[in-house]
Amino acid sequence: MTIKPQLRIALIYVIVSVLWIWLSDRLLVAVLHDQYLFYRVMVLKGSFFVTCTGVLIYWLVSRDMRRMDRVNQRLRDGHLQSLQVLVSAMDIRHKETSDHSERVMRMATGLARLAGIRGQALRNLRFGALLHDIGKLALPDSVLVKAGPLTPDEIAVMRTHTRIGHEMLRQIEFLRDATDIPFAHHERWDGTGYPQGLSGEMIPLAARVFSVVDVWDALSHPRVYKPAWPEDEVIDYLRNAAGSQLDPHLVKLFLAHYDELVLLGTNEVPELISIQ
C-alpha cells in the first residue's frame, strides 16, 4: 500500500516526537534530582526538540517536493512530445517547410531569453510558439494550401485562425496561459494587424517576440505561394519593418544576435545552452 506523502510526514513526525519526549523525560527524571536544574534542562530540551523537528520537517517536505518536481517535469516533457507530434502533422498538412513550428519555437525561446523573459512566462511562450498556428487545423484546404493569392473572403477565413487557436487552447488547462502568441502574433506595432488591432506595447510581449522570428522564418523559407528570399533581403525587410510591423527594440535585439539565433533554429546546438 502506498502512503500519501503528507501522511508519511505526519507519521514520521509523531513517532519521532513521542519517542523523544518519552525517552528524554525518563532520562532526565533518572539523572536530575535538583528541581531548578530539572526545569532549566526541560526548557533547553524543548527548544532543541523544536529546532530538530523543524529541520526534520523541512528535509522531509523538500525531499517530497523534489520528487514532485521530477514527476511534473516528466509530465511537461510528455505534453511537449505529444504536442510536437500534433504540430508535425499540422505542418505537413499546411505544406510548411520541415521543422517550421519547432524551429520558430527554438528561435523565439532564444530571443525571449535575450529580452529578459524567464520562468513561467518563458514556458508559456515556448508552448505558444509551438502552437502558434493551431487554429489552422479548422481551416479548409482550399484556403490553407492555396498556391495563388487569396480572395478577400478567403483572407477573412484565414484570419479566423487566431481566434480559433485562442479558443482551442483556452479549453486545455495547462495551455490556458499560452494563448498570447496564437491569438496576437498577427498584431502589428502600428496597430494595423489583427484580430484586435492592438499597437505598440499593448501587444503581449510574447507575441511581439514571436512575430520577429515568424516574419524572418516566413521570408527565409519557401511557401506554397512564394520562394525563399535571399538572406540580405530578409534582413533589410526586418530593418524596414521595425517600428511599423514589428517591435523596433526586438528587431534590433534579433539582428544583434542573428547568427546565434539562426544557429539555434537549425537545432545543431542544444537549446538553452548557446543563449543564456
- How many CA atoms lie less than 13 Å away from 238 in the CB half-sphere? 27
Cα–Cα distance measured from residue 246 to residue 248, given in angstroms and rounded to the nearest whole number: 6
C-alpha cell recorded at residue 240: 524596414
User: In 3D, which of 213, 217, 221, 218 has the Cα closest to residue 246?
Assistant: 213
Cα–Cα distance measured from residue 175 to residue 172, given in angstroms and rounded to the nearest whole number: 5
Residue with cell 535575450: 114
Residue with cell 484570419: 159
Cα–Cα distance measured from residue 230 to residue 96, given in angstroms and rounded to the nearest whole number: 18
As separate numbers, helices (DSSP H) first and strands (DSSP E) second, the chain gives 12, 0
Mark whether 226 is an active-site residue.
no
Catalytic residue among 4, 45, 95, 136: 136
Question: How is residue 195 annotated by DSSP?
Answer: S
Residue 24: CB atoms within 10 A of its CB come to 16
Cα–Cα distance measured from residue 265 to residue 258, given in angstroms and rounded to the nearest whole number: 11
Active site residues: 136
